Every structure is written in structure tokens, then in C-alpha cells.
Structure 1
Amino acid sequence: MNLLKTVMNEPQIQIYEFDEFRVDAAKRLLTKGDGEQIPLTPKVFDTLLYLIRHGGKVIEKDELMREIWTDSVVEENNLNQNISILRRVFGEKPGEQRFIVTIAGHGYRFVPEVRPILNLGFGIADVKPEEMISENETEKTDNQITNGEGRKTENKSSIQNPKSKIQNREWLAAFAVLSIFALGASGFYLWRGNEKSVDAPIKTVAVLPFKPLVVENRNEALEFGIADTLITKLSGGEEIVVRSLSAVRRYNSLEQDSLTAGRELGVESILDGTIQNWGDRIRISVKLLRTSDGKQLWAGQFDEKFTDIFVVQDSISEKVAAALKIRLGNRAKKHSTENIEAYQLYMKGRYLIAKGTPPDLRASIPYFQQAIEIEPNYAPAYTGLAQANGVLGISGDVPASEAIPKSKAAAQRAIEIDDTLAEAHVATCMGLFWYDWEWRAADNHCRRALELDPNSADSHQAYAQVLSNTGRHAEALAEVKRARELNPLDLAINALEGQYLLHAGLPDEALAQLQKTSELEPNFWLPHLFAASAYIEKGMFREAIAESRKEYELSGRNDIPFGTYALAKLGRRDEARAALQELIKLSATKYVPPYNIALLYNALEMRDNALEWLEKGYERRDPKMTFLKVEPKWNNLRNEPRFVDLMRRMKFE
């Protein structure tokens, strides 16, 4: 048994502090501020003490009533009255729940950080979280709470008080150990290690979406927005790898265990937090944990006006950096806007982009536009506008000629305002690559993005696409591998690695990678699309048709040609022609990439028609034309003069 732990858990801890209040369990007193005594009935005091000693945990109503009224059976209303009295004592307004949170259908949770005060009879010592040493781990925190007036006080951490007993000789041994620490000091203080140090340098961290303390008031855009801002502030240097928002967005469930998320993400540390927003105020509680053993490296609570959220985010990033012993880059000190309304609109747009579906991407655009109207020099809002339009144009959900010029203009404006935004350079790279077919300029912007943020998985992935489609396969595979290392669970990165392997002439390796991707998420459609293409190259047309059907079932897209291509190659030409005619008919009412129609004509060995539709693709700036150089399904046309001329005009040759 850890003797120090035993001492800590015994009932000599009788004084607790939280916010501006102090509870003396022995004297059964609640005081406020400079010592003002607040009278409580015995059962109300018992209720408060039980909540404090189980701070941070959800306590069922039945448990509370059983513990408070041990000798009698009472109605739930008695407990409700006690909670109501405590809320009035704490000065809570209706619906505020700053101290006691109601968990619907369950009970209550006491949310302030509590600091227990240890009294051994010859002095009093503050017991901080890092001093509550358990048998399996030591928790160290370097925590400050910022109150509503901007003043900083020490963190107050919650504690449980087990009812375990200790043998007399263990008490003596513990007393001796503690006495040794007391010698040589003017007062008694428990031993504590270097609060900001960790056992070994931590090189990876993930910031999870924040969780609400009160579910009924949930604001997912704010939860994602705070995580997104902290990710941006902590990123940008080579000292630590920070998982991107796309990597962590799946971990927004209220039941999500942070350590499990950290292990799945392959990071050494995890930053997890909760938020509570009421009126014009916000309370943020955050903790930094080591993934391997759950050791708390730092924790903090911030209670501020919502308009001071920028200061809170700065403080959190600085303290996390200190705990991890890293230096923050220049981006951590930047505020692209001081306008809270513009920032909130931007967060809503970013949240929708993170969801990634075409309807969400479309819905994000007005939020970015409104943010820009309020703050015309808000560079990240221009970047968000560029990203949303760019993805819609590249995917074919909106004609490229309509969406990508808007994306390019927004990205250019973002760079004019702030040349250090890596995301703006990536968006510019994508416009130059998919629409302008300016390979060298696209390459330059992707490399600039990587200079600004070398640990951005999205930047490595974007550059891999440029390299792959221009035939630089070894470099492309190196870049996508790095992207996957930085964001191992990103489904698109994993699937695109399969595509790059295929275009590098490695169909078997591509299929193996695509199978791994499907194992990560069986309902993700993209690996089935690329697998259908890979099976075509292996002459396994039935398998290609099966994969294409899976892709259609999962995506609902009916404009992707590989299943029909395989039908043609299998000799089922009538079916292939019928499918081709349906696609042409569809193109009259919905945007269909001309490249896709050309590919099917080529499968049916109708060269003139294929070349005619490739010309339409060139005229309409179809982004899929960028695959002409590396897609093996065009190999039969590579000596055709019109195809050679097209390749020259696209600057491939």
C-alpha cells in the first residue's frame, strides 16, 4: 500500500475550497469571501459535502437520498429542495447551473474544481491534484483558474474520500514519512515534483472536440470551434505533431473516453475539455492527459465573459505548451479577428465543413460570407470559403467552372491578408492544380504550405495528389505515407494512398491498402471506387462490377463509370451502352464530368466519341482531366495525335 495515498484518503481532510467558498466539514461551516458564514440546515450541509467529495462525477438521486437520509425514507422533493437552496446560496440564476449541473434522468454533478486542505494537527497544507498520489499513477497539475474579472487563482481539484481504514503501524509509518517532509520548512507542505515536467518528451497530441456540461444547451459548432482554434495554435512547429480537426471530429460523443480516443489516434497525449455557456459567460474546464497511463499533466478552469474567449484560448495553448515543453509558433499569438460575432459565424462554417457532405459544404458558405461582411479582413473566413467552394467543384457536386473560380479568389484574398496561413496556400494549390492545370505553381503553393505547417496531414495529402497526377509516383507515395502517419485514421488519406499505388502501376499493393481502409470503416464508399478501378487493371471485371455496386450502395452516386467500364470489357456491351446513354441523359439535368462519359466511350472502343467528350472536358475545365497522364485506361489512345495534342495543351508534355 502507498502510505502517502492512505494518509490522503483519510478523513483528516476536512476543509475544501471552491470558487469563493470554503467548507469546514469538522465544524460544519460554509463560509464565503472574507469569512462570511452562511447558515445551512444539517441535511443541506450533508448534501453539499457529499457533492463536494464526489465532485465531477454524476451522482444518482437514489444514491444521494440513501446517503443523506440514512435512517429514513423521504420523497425526491426533499432532495430537490436541498439542491435548490444550495443553488440560491451559490448565487446561481435560473437555468445557469454553474455549480450544480442537473443530469436529466439521473441526478447531479458538482462541477467547480475543488481544492482540499489537509490538516494534520501541526499545520495546514493545500492538497493539490498532483499530490494525490495513487498506487498506479501520480497526477501533476500546473493549473490556474481565471475568474470573471481576469484575476488568476490556483486550480481547485475534486477529491473522493474513501471509507478505507489503516492499521496503527501504517499510520505511524505514514506519520513518520510526512514528518520528514515537514522538517526544515517554516510550514508543512507535502512533497511535490516539478509540475510542468513529464517523464519523457511528448511528441504527439490530439485536441478532442469539447463536451457540454449541460446537454440541453449543446452548441456543437462552439465545441468544435474551440478545439479547432487550439489545434491551430499548437500546430505550426516541428516540436510536436497535432492531429487535425478532421482526425478528431469523430470523437464528439458525450460518452467518448478520452484515453481510448488518444490510443486510437496514436498520440502520446490528449487534451480534453468541457464547456458551459450561459448568458454572456462561458466556463471552460480542460485537462491534458498522458495516453499511456492517464496521468494528468495539466488541468485548468476558466470562467469568463464570452467576449474574452480569445484570451482564454491563448491561455490554454500557452499552458499546454508549457506542460509539454514546446515553443508555440507565431500563429499561436495571432488573432485574425477580435470580433466575437464574426468568430462565431466562422466557427459554424468550420463545423459544417468538418462534416464534409455536399449539403453541409453548401450550408457553410453563407456563414463565411457573413463573417467577412462583419470583418472584411478575416483571412480564415476567406480560407473557409475557398475550401467549401473548392471541394464542391472538385467533387463535381457543383460545376467546376462555377465553384473553383470562387475558391481561387477567396484563397488569394486570404493570402493577401495573411501569407502565413497554410490552409490558404493549400486551397490555392488545389485551384491551380484541378482547374488551371498550372502544375509548377500548384507545386510551389503546396510546398509553401508545408513550410508553414510541416505536420499538416492535409497539406501532405494535397501535395501527394499533385505529385501523383503529374507522374512523380515515388514522391507522391512518400507524401501520402507521411500524411497517413500524421492522421492514421483519416479515411480519405488511406483510400487515396490506394489510388496513388494503382497509378504507380502497383494494383496488388493498391488493393491491399484499400482493404485496410475498408476495415477502418466498412461503410466508406471511396475504397470500393478505387478497388473497382484496380480490378479492371488486373482484368478481374466481375470483381470490379461487385466493387462498383458496393460503391453505389454506399454513396448513391450514379455518375461514376467503373462498373459500366467493366461491363463493356466483360463483353456485356448492350448493358454498357444502355448505362452510358443514361449517364448522357443525366448530364442534361445534373452536372456529370465529361471525363466520365469519355471513359465509357473509350471502353466501348468508340475513339472519336471519347476524344470528343475529352475536348468537352478540356473546354469546361473538368477537374478529372488531371488524371489523363496517369490513368492506364487511356493507354490505348496515347499515340493518337488528337490525344497527344490534348496532353500538350494541358502542359503534361
Structure 2
Amino acid sequence: MKRCPECGRAYDNTMMFCLDDGAELLYGPASGAGASDEPATAILHSTAAPGEAPTRAQIHTTEQTAVLPRRAEAEPQENLRDSTEKQSFSANRAAKPLAALVVAVLVLVGGFFGYRYFSSAGSKQINSIAVMPFENRNSDADTDYLSDGLADSLIYRLSQLPNLKVSPTSSVMRYKGKETDVAQIANELEVDAVISGRLVQRSDDLSISVQLIDARTKKLIWAEQYDRKMTDLLATQREIATTITQKLQIKLSGEGEQKLAKKYTVSDEAYQLYLRGQYHLARRSKDDLLKAIDYYERAIKLDPNFALAYVGMSYAYSSGIGNAFLPFSFDEGLSRAKNAAIKAIDIDPNLAEAHTAMGTAFRLEWNWPEAERALKKALEIDPNNASAHYFYGLYLQSVGRTGDAVREIKTAVELEPMSLIMQANLAGAYLFDRQSELGLDQAKRTFDLDPNFISGRFWLAYAYCVNQKYAEAIELIESAPKDEVSQRLLARFRGYAYAKTGRRGEAEAILLKLTADTAFSAQSAAMIYRALGEKDKAFAALENGLTGKQDMARIKVDPLFDDLRDDPRFREILKRMGLPE
């Protein structure tokens, strides 16, 4: 428990400054000192400049006020006044010109240095910011979507501002549920200011507390509590984003104001369903993807013009069919992914995310010209969109431009340095570009960030196989979680490593399981057959994969197929995929 040393109000440990008077909160009981000894001061049409702690008047007063002078300590004594005045009258007359000159000089000098000081202090413009995951005070995981979604939405809106660097969601989510010092967060994320908050939902009532802190000085810039209805969630989110922009003293163009205040849906209920969909999409398990699709569909029924909901649905279908997670055919899933992206673009042609989703679906379809066109359009709309750079990098891998792919995925990682999926695929980009040792090092770093992240384990196993470290690959795979998704993704490398280490029977057993699975990866089977030295069966598996298209988009650059490249059958497969030899 923390308390304000000024007013004694109690706060939970996540708050740093008092909402009443701006004082820094302390652990333990209040000091009991009461009000400060400083002069009571109010502000004329002003708010605290960035880096300055607001006074009580700044937090609560919006009308014109003025400096309230302190009451005089004591009245001057009047005894002997008459005689003293008479004796000093002549001397005072003589001293007045000199005194006036001295005062004038002091004013000029003080004004000069005051200007230098305050202009310097005021020039500490905040150019970068991090929005921390909001604390869910309901202690109910079912409402995490709301606290996570509110922070994510603020990040999305503030990212539209051209002169403000905003840490992406993937970078800030690692701080969720942790008590971390603001200065440490700012140092690790390389930002000037930090926004934190907490959220409490009781039935239809919603309480949101937000505070903006200059991390360089640890001073509170602004704090506010919003007590609203759930039906006011959209308007409140826009209001918070607008207020933050004002407190940061960011000047917006007309276009900037429109982006900040843009209404993506007219339905608060649809927006809440969308937030739920985003929450499950980020988790990407089979069950989560199905839940995400359901929430997006329900949001769209309430607001058929909700472009972002269509974008989320497109990503969910693409992710599901790319990993064979969803309970329908590849062609059906691809068609749904494309249709959702097309609808999003029809609603909002200037939404970069919609074009990125479209390019992703085209890449899975092996429609390379359209994939490139859509992804370039996304980058034209938003050059700082990490997802657009990332998926463009995956496209470049597929068509054999591995050096350019490394550049694009590195750019994505620079924009979202804590995105595990991007970090993991950067390892793949290095491996496809034949930078094998660098790829292995990158895969190890990503795995160390989160050993439970399955894609990190996937790419490290692949890196071990490319670098012919089969014992390490087997150890890594055999220690993996036993869930269906993990085992399916790692099966190819398990079989490949078993075959390369002489464990032929175990490799063949894995092949039997793969071919019995209706959602098996043709490339996985071909990889194991190739390791067993059975080229004809490897090509037969790839032929089967031409009808399903899944998981074959990078065979052109995969080092594990290098000894098949001189075979005319391999070149024919690339031709049928629309890829240059």
C-alpha cells in the first residue's frame, strides 16, 4: 500500500503519484504533514509543461486563477516611525535614482538567465512514449481482453502521430503484471515518457485511471480518473488519446487530428467483441483462433462496416490454414481470408493493415505479383508498419530474394524489438540467406527470451538441422511440450534428425503418423524422405503438396532441399508454383 505524504490518501502499489495533488506516493503510512508549506499557487490558462509535476490547481482547476500571495508574517512596527521618516527623507531622495538603476540591471540580468533556464527546461520535448499494459483490478482473466485492449488501442492511435515514437504492443506486454520502475522501463524501451493505468469493471460501470510520467525526471505530467459506462468505452478511449496528445504539446495537422479521432466502429458492443477477438488472435492456438473468428464475426454482425474486425478475421484464417490448425480445407480457409481482407479494403482503402492481410493471403495462394502489390501498398500507406515489413520479408523469401528479406525482417524487428515471432523469423531469414551461424545465434537468442514460445523452439530446431547439430536438435525437440500443436510443428525436424543420426525406424514411424494426418505438411514428409535418401518419395510428397499449397512457400530457399535443386523435377515444381528457377 502507498500513501500520499500530502493528503494521506491511500493508493495501491501500481500508482506513482497522487491524483489529488500530484505528490509522489510513498510506501507505508502518510507523513501526516498535511498541506505543503509552499505558496498556494494556481495557473492562468495553463497546464504543466512536459517534465514538470502539476500542482493541485493544475489537476483540479480549469478556470482562470491567479497566484495567491502568502499572508504577511507580521505587521511592521509603527513606533519611532515619524522620527525615522523625517531623518531619512533627504537620504532617500538622493538614493532613489541609483536604486532604480540597480533594480533595472537586476531585472535585465534576471530576465536573461530566466529566459535561458526556462526555455531550456521547456525544450525537453517528449518524442517517444510507452503505453504499459493496464492493470486489470477485477482479478478476472476473462476481462483481461479489456485492459490489454485499451492499452493496445491507445498504442494504435498514438502511433498515427507522425512525430511521436510509440513502443509497440509486443514490446510492452512483457511488463504485464510486473512492478517495474519507470526509469528502468524507459531505459529498456528507449522512451522519454511512460503511460500506465488500471481498469475496474463492475457490471456496466467502468473506472479507468491513467497517468503520464516523464521518465527522465520521474515527474507526473498528467493524471486522470474516468468513471464511465461500458457503452462509453469508444468515446473514452478517443478522449484519453486526445488528452495525452495535448499534454505532450504535440501540434497536429488537420489530417493528424482526423487520424487520432477516427471512429473505426459506431458500436461499443462491436468494439468490445473486437477486443476479445484480438486477445485470442495474439495467442494463436487452435482453440484461440476459433474463438477469435467467432468474436470477429459477432462484431461484424453488429457493425458490417467495421474494417478492423475484417482484418482480424483475415489474419486468423491465414494463420490457421498456414499451420493446419482450422477444421476445414486449405482452399476454404484461404477464400475466407481473402474475402475478409477485400471487404476491409473496400470499407477503408487507406488502412495499411487491410492491405497487409491481403498480401498475406495472396502469398499463401502463391499469387506472387498480387502479394507484392498489396504489401507494397501497405508500406506506402504506413512506412513504419512493422507487420507490413515482416510479411513483405516473408514474401521476398518465397521468391528467392533472401538478402532483401533479411533487410525487411530486420526493419520489422527494429520497429517491434520484442516481437518474438519476428525475432524467430529473423533467424529463418539468416538461414535462408545461407548465413547459417548468424541464423543459429539469432535462434538461440529468441529461444532464450521465452523457451515456452513454440515458434522460437521451431526455428532453433531448424537452425540445428541446417548446421548439422542433430544431437542438439533431438534434445531440444524431445524436451518440447507434448501438446498437439507443438508436436505437429516439430515432427519434421524430429524425423529429419532421426534419419540423419541413423535412427531410420523412428524416422519412418514419424512419416507414417504424418501421412495419416489429413492436415499433414507435404514439405515435412518430403524433408524426412530426403534425409532418408529416398528422393522419389520426396518428390512424390512435394507433388501432393502442390494441391494443398500449405507450408511450401519457402522451398525455393530452404537449405535442407539443396541436394534436390539440380533435379529437373524440382525446377518443374518451382515453375508450377509460379516461382523463378
TM-score, length-normalised on structure 1?
0.69
Match of 2:356? 426
Match of 2:515? 584
> In structure 1, what is the Cα distance between the partners aligned to 2:209 and 2:58?
11
> In structure 2, what is the Cα distance between the partners aligned to 1:616 and 1:145?
67
Which whole-Å deviations, capped at 9, do the CAs of 1:580-624 have from their partners, x for residues lacking one? 123223x14xx11122112211222222221121121111121x1
Higher mean C-alpha displacement, 546-555 vs 478-487: 546-555
1:65-144 matches, cutoff 5 A: 124-126=40-42, 138-140=52-54
1:393 touches 1:403 (CA, 8 Å); kept in 2?
A: yes
> In structure 1, what is the Cα distance between the partners aligned to 2:385 and 2:353?
9
Which whole-Å deviations, capped at 9, do the CAs of 1:61-94 have from their partners, x for residues lacking one? xxxxxxxxxxxxxxxxxxxxxxxxxxxxxxxxxx
> In structure 1, what is the Cα distance between the partners aligned to 2:120 and 2:196?
18
- Candidates 316, 324, 334, aligned match of 1:404: 334
* 1:260, distance to aligned residue in structure 2 (A): 4.0
> In structure 2, what is the Cα distance between the partners aligned to 1:214 and 1:558?
37
Where structure 2 has 5 or more consecutive residues not aligned to the other structure, the ranges are 14-18, 21-26, 64-72, 74-102, 108-113
Match of 1:563? 494
Question: 1:428/1:56 Cα in 2 relative to 1: closer, same or farther (>3 Å)?
Answer: farther
Task: Give the structure with the larger strand fraction.
Answer: 1
Question: 1:441/1:575 Cα in 2 relative to 1: closer, same or farther (>3 Å)?
Answer: same
Match of 2:158? 234
Match of 1:79? none
Do structure 1's residue 490 and structure 2's residue 419 form an aligned pair? yes
1:139-150 matches, cutoff 5 A: 139-140=53-54
Match of 2:539? 611
Match of 2:78? none
Do structure 1's residue 274 and structure 2's residue 215 form an aligned pair? no
Do structure 1's residue 500 and structure 2's residue 424 form an aligned pair? no
Match of 2:9? 55
Question: 1:202/1:578 Cα in 2 relative to 1: closer, same or farther (>3 Å)?
Answer: same
* 1:200, distance to aligned residue in structure 2 (A): 3.4
% identity of equivalent residues: 31
> In structure 2, what is the Cα distance between the partners aligned to 1:458 and 1:333?
23
> In structure 2, what is the Cα distance between the partners aligned to 1:468 and 1:291?
40
1:529 touches 1:547 (CA, 8 Å); kept in 2?
A: no
* 1:508, distance to aligned residue in structure 2 (A): 0.4
1:484 touches 1:490 (CA, 8 Å); kept in 2?
A: yes
3-state SS in 1 of match to 2:549: coil
Question: 1:144/1:364 Cα in 2 relative to 1: closer, same or farther (>3 Å)?
Answer: farther
Question: 1:215/1:256 Cα in 2 relative to 1: closer, same or farther (>3 Å)?
Answer: farther
1:352-367 matches, cutoff 5 A: 352-367=280-295
* 1:545, distance to aligned residue in structure 2 (A): 2.3
- Candidates 566, 569, 578, aligned match of 1:642: 569
> In structure 2, what is the Cα distance between the partners aligned to 1:564 and 1:293?
56
Task: Give the structure with the larger helix fraction.
Answer: 2
Higher mean C-alpha displacement, 537-546 vs 275-284: 275-284
Do structure 1's residue 376 and structure 2's residue 304 form an aligned pair? yes
Question: 1:262/1:341 Cα in 2 relative to 1: closer, same or farther (>3 Å)?
Answer: same
* 1:108, distance to aligned residue in structure 2 (A): 12
- Candidates 501, 522, 545, aligned match of 2:451: 522
- Candidates 305, 308, 328, aligned match of 2:232: 308
* 1:397, distance to aligned residue in structure 2 (A): 1.2
> In structure 2, what is the Cα distance between the partners aligned to 1:476 and 1:277?
45
> In structure 2, what is the Cα distance between the partners aligned to 1:417 and 1:310?
19
Question: 1:269/1:463 Cα in 2 relative to 1: closer, same or farther (>3 Å)?
Answer: farther
* 1:458, distance to aligned residue in structure 2 (A): 2.0
Which whole-Å deviations, capped at 9, do the CAs of 1:197-224 have from their partners, x for residues lacking one? 8653434322222224554798222212
2:209 touches 2:226 (CA, 8 Å); kept in 1?
A: yes
> In structure 1, what is the Cα distance between the partners aligned to 2:401 and 2:239?
44
Match of 2:579? 652
2:281 touches 2:316 (CA, 8 Å); kept in 1?
A: yes
Do structure 1's residue 466 and structure 2's residue 395 form an aligned pair? yes
Aligned-residue CA RMSD (Å): 3.8
* 1:357, distance to aligned residue in structure 2 (A): 2.6
- Candidates 156, 172, 195, aligned match of 1:248: 172
Do structure 1's residue 322 and structure 2's residue 236 form an aligned pair? no
* 1:415, distance to aligned residue in structure 2 (A): 0.7
Question: 1:329/1:580 Cα in 2 relative to 1: closer, same or farther (>3 Å)?
Answer: farther
* 1:379, distance to aligned residue in structure 2 (A): 0.9
* 1:446, distance to aligned residue in structure 2 (A): 1.7
> In structure 2, what is the Cα distance between the partners aligned to 1:446 and 1:50?
51
1:214 touches 1:276 (CA, 8 Å); kept in 2?
A: yes
**One-letter identity of the residue aligned with 2:447:** S
> In structure 1, what is the Cα distance between the partners aligned to 2:506 and 2:451?
29
